[in-house]
């Protein structure tokens, strides 16, 4: 469903500010696979999601979604194929619009929009049914402006908006990091329920090691723009949060050692 082949991203190439954000990344996600991605700050996690979404142009390599080479496609062309939830609940919704208007835009993502009526009775009924499953009462507030919602309610709405049109790939960029623990737990449960029901191919970036090991069936560890480890099956099942932290520590220590070698006198 999602295939990245020898993917590299270089910012400010050829200048003193050159940054290699991704280097030779190869990754394949089967239909319905749920993969979590961990790594330190600057590891390339968010760059990976942005590149899949079409935000950043590819320096080298290919991005294939559902068998279609989308490497040269801009972000708007990939919109119908890629759903996304950001860390900041404010980014995924239009604050001045109502809940039903936001959902209507989401369900029509990537489609041609003529002068037809936007929110139909059929759509309104569908929205009520979809919102009711979350138990937040949002199905009775379809005419409410989104700016009046709490952060958790907005993130719930964003999650629904990202999945309503059944994209080929769902990208979750630390989508619980800005929420309080109770709300974060609720969003995690919603995520598992939605992905489980729709069998969406999902790539989730997180700093939460517990989430990384409990959500989905595969965990990647990135560092310096590369995928260092790809844990699946029994190997992943045997991993613990302490074990992951120990791996992080070893990777960072090796980086420090390499730096010292570079700085050492010949």
Pairing of strands 2-11, 60-65: antiparallel
Indicate which CATH number applies to the domain containing 49: 3.40.50.300
Q: What is the pLDDT at residue 242?
A: 86
Q: How many domains does the chain have?
A: 1
Q: In terms of residue numbers, what domain contains 40?
A: 2-263
Strand order in the sheet with 218-223: 82-85, 169-173, 201-205, 34-39, 218-223, 226-232
Rounded to the nearest angstrom, the gap between the alpha carbon of residue 213 and the centroid of all alpha carbons in its chain is 16
Q: 135 falls in which pLDDT band (50, 70, 90)?
A: confident
pLDDT in tens, 37-82: 998 888 899 999 999 999 999 999 999 999 999 999 999 899 889 9
Task: Provide the whole-model pTM.
Answer: 0.89
Q: What is the pLDDT at residue 249?
A: 78
When pLDDT is averaged across residues 2-21 and rounded to a whole number, the result is: 92
CA–CA separation, 8 and 44 (whole Å): 11
pLDDT in tens, 162-215: 998 889 999 999 999 888 888 899 999 999 999 999 999 999 999 888 999 999
pLDDT at 117 over 80: no
pLDDT at 232 over 90: yes
| 14 C-beta neighbours (distance < 10 Å), count | 7
pLDDT at 84 over 80: yes
Q: What is the pLDDT at residue 88?
A: 87
φ/ψ of 232, rounded to 5, equals: -140, 175
pLDDT at 157 over 90: yes
- Whether the Cβ atoms of residue 142 and residue 124 lie closer than 8 Å to each other: yes
Q: 131 falls in which pLDDT band (50, 70, 90)?
A: very high
């Amino acid at each position: 469903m999602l295939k990245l082949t020898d993917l590299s991203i270089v910012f400010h190439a050829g200048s003193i500010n050159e940054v290699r954000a991704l280097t030779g990344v190869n990754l394949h996600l089967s239909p319905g696979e749920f993969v979590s991605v961990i790594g330190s700050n600057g590891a390339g996690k968010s760059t990976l999601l942005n590149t899949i979404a079409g935000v950043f142009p590819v320096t080298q390599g290919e991005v294939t979604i559902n068998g279609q080479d989308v490497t040269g496609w801009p972000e708007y062309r990939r919109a119908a194929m890629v759903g996304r939830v950001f860390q900041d609940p404010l980014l995924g919704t239009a604050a001045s619009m109502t809940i039903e208007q936001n959902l209507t835009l989401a369900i029509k993502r990537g489609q041609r929009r003529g002068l037809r009526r936007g929110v139909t009775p059929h759509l309104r009924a569908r929205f009520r049914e979809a919102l009711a499953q979350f138990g937040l009462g949002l199905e009775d507030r379809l005419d409410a402006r989104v700016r009046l919602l709490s952060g958790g309610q907005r993130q719930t709405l964003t999650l629904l908006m990202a999945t309503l049109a059944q994209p080929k790939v769902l990208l979750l960029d630390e989508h619980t990091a800005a929420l309080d623990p109770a709300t974060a737990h609720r969003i995690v449960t919603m995520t598992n329920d939605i992905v489980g029901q729709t069998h969406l191919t999902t790539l989730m970036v997180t700093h939460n090691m517990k989430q990384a090991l409990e959500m989905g069936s595969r965990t990647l560890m990135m560092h310096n723009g590369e995928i260092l480890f790809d844990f699946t099956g029994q190997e992943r099942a045997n991993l613990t949060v302490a074990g992951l932290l120990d791996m992080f520590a070893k990777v960072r220590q090796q980086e420090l050692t390499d730096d010292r070698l570079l700085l050492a006198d010949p």
